[in-house]
Structure 1
Amino acid sequence: MPELPEVETVRKGLVRLVQDKTIAEVVVRWPRIIEFPTVDEFCQELVGQRIETITRRGKFLLFKLTDFDLISHLRMEGKYDYFSEKNNPQPDKHTHVIFKFSDGSQLHYNDVRKFGRMTLVAKGQGMLYKGIQKLGPEPIIEEFLLGDFVEKLQSSSSLIKPLLLNQKVVAGLGNIYTDEALWLAKIHPQQPARTLNKTEIKRLHQAIIEVLTKAVKVGGTTIRTYKNALGEAGSFQMELNVYAKTAEPCPRCKTPIVKIKVAQRGTHFCPHCQKLKRRKQS
């Protein structure tokens, strides 16, 4: 699934490719991609709309149009492919929405699993979308406050990994970067969140910011099908310490990395560096 660094990289690419373009036609080939309004209304309302810019909140992309906000969530394997006016191929079987622009170029939404969703709302209302309203802070120093993070962890009955994945504590974390941040902070993924002390929480807070900031800078992680809107692969996979490193030596202590399931998610960690600490839960 594209996580925050991948979605941010897609956003930057889309700004370069389609900002200021005017939509001439929209073709929806898989209706369930469109949450609201109806498919016919979606296609009709978008004609003549100019893409003023594209922003992001968590894993949501927000296309800021002349009269609307178009909210797009890529879910598991959604991606955007751009084609210039000189290179408009026939859409393949996984192309579900086609945006045709007045200059002859096209933007295709491609999704193998068909899990991605788009919603059209009134201009300026994108941040009020129910999925966005539930998000925690962005993982940047200015918004991701340590005091709030401490309070949320110490009041939770959840294990730390699933808590970090639920998007209400901090926006944008997924499986890859949660594993990486927990490794960097030396915290076991099955540690009950409320048993972490303030020193450990501070270390985890810093690790989340560090891992995501670094991943954004290198265009995210390419695992299987991910590419950005420019057709480029990210390179953070070259810097992964534990994710997808089962049986390989831990970069810190050389102990083989272990993979287990936590909350139904494949989870990678070092059993030596990330010991599960038996503590009483308050």
Structure 2
Amino acid sequence: MPELPEVETTRRKIEPYLKGRQLIRLEHDAPHRYRQTHLAHGRTVSGLGRRGKYLLIHLDDAGEAPLELIVHLGMTGGFRFDATPHTRVTLHTDQGQLYFQDARRFGKMAVVTPGEYASMPTLARMGPEPLSEAFLELDFVQAAARAGAVKPWLLSQQPVAGVGNIYADESLWRARIHPAQTRLTPDEALRLYQAIRTTMAEAVEAGGSTLSDGTYQQPDGISGLFQVHHNVYDRAGQPCPRCGTPIQKTVLAQRGTHFCPHCQVLRG
């Protein structure tokens, strides 16, 4: 599933293409999945934002209240500059088309009033962005001291936005913390805080991770490059880059989880 680095890379690639353009219409055949998109017709894109794994396409119109087109890429969703066999939504603009493809059809869109996210509880309760000044070290350390198993806690999106399966595993490896560890000590929480910021910054710079299934590609068809820097994710049985111990894979909160049993020991 695309996580913050993949969504941020997508935002950066499509913003120059969409900003300032008028959306003539959004063409699709699934109104239950792409909700109220007719409200975007005739609106001008004033900019693109992002919260965690969500794209926020800002829509303005002279004399009308602003709207947002919220996009969640799901597991296999992404924008392309050319149509594909899996195109689900075509964004017709006054200067061309942009295509949303989604092989497994888990992606969603909705046009809402800015900030009105009651129908999207994950977005409504989302924590701070990991690379922003709002992601405060002290707040994270205090919250981690009360948390349950740390990986599911991160995946909830409440302590920090945009961390999914890949970047939780990678950050926990860097911080030397077992994914099932509960109630982090201040030292553990500080290491994890720093690991999240470092991992996310490097992954964004690399354009995200394109895995062996190839489902994530940048809008222009270019693959991300961060997968070549994965230390544990999708490397079960391979040696830990730090100590040489074979990486293990387990299931935690119904998610495949990769860790080094030597570097990431479960306390207690």
Q: Give the alignment's TM-score, normalised by structure 1.
A: 0.88
Match among 115, 118, 130 for residue 125 of structure 1? 115
- Residues 80 and 191 of structure 1, relative CA distance in 2, 3 Å threshold: same
Q: Confirm or deny: 8 A CA contact 1:71 1:126 kept in the other structure.
A: no
Q: CA offsets per residue over residues 218-248 of structure 1, 9 Å max, x none?
A: 1000012101222211100010000011111
Measured after TM superposition, the shift of residue 142 of structure 1 is: 1.1
Corresponding position of 1:18: 18
Identity within the alignment, %: 43
Structure 1 residue ranges without an equivalent (≥5) = 84-88
What CA distance in whole angstroms lies between the structure 2 residues aligned with 1:189 and 1:155?
15
**What's the counterpart of residue 47 of structure 1?**
41
Give the deviation of 1:116 after TM superposition. 1.2
Matching residue within 92, 95, 106 for 2:87: 95
How many angstroms apart in 2 are the aligned matches of 1:208 and 1:97? Answer: 33
Deviation readout 1:156-198 (Å, 9 max, x if unpaired): 2x21111111101110000000000000000111111x1x211
Residue matched to 1:8: 8
What SS does structure 2 have at the residue aligned with 1:261? strand
Q: How many angstroms does 1:16 deviate by?
A: 2.2
**CA shift for structure 1 position 95:** 1.8
Aligned counterparts of 1:208 and 1:112: Cα–Cα separation in 2: 30
Structure 2 partner of 1:81:
80
SS in 1 for 2:32: helix
Q: Does 1:175 align with 2:169?
A: no
Q: Which runs of 4+ in 1 moved over 3 A?
A: 124-131
- Across the aligned residues of Structure 1 and Structure 2, the Cα RMSD in angstroms comes to 1.6
Matches within 5 A, 1:139-150: 139-140=130-131, 142-150=133-141
Please say if residues 17 and 82 of structure 1, whose CA atoms lie closer than 8 Å, have aligned partners that are also in contact.
Answer: no
Q: Against the structure 1 CA distance between its residues 130 and 261, is the aligned structure 2 distance closer, same or farther, given a 3 Å change threshold?
A: closer
Separation (CA, whole Å) in 1 of partners of 2:220 and 2:75? 19
Q: Which residue of 2 aligns with 1:162?
A: 152
Q: 2:142 is matched with which residue?
A: 151
In structure 1, the partner of 2:63 is none
Q: What secondary structure sits across from 1:31 in the alignment?
A: coil
Residue in 1 that maps onto 2:234: 244
| Count of residue correspondences | 260
Q: Does 1:274 find its partner at 2:264?
A: yes
| Mapped partners of 1:8, 1:127: distance in 2 | 20
Q: Give the number of the structure whose alpha-carbon radius of gyration is greater.
A: 1
Answer yes or no: is the 8 Å Cα contact 1:62–1:126 preserved in 2: no
- Counterpart of 1:255 in structure 2 is 245
CA distance in 1, matches of 2:263, 2:73: 34
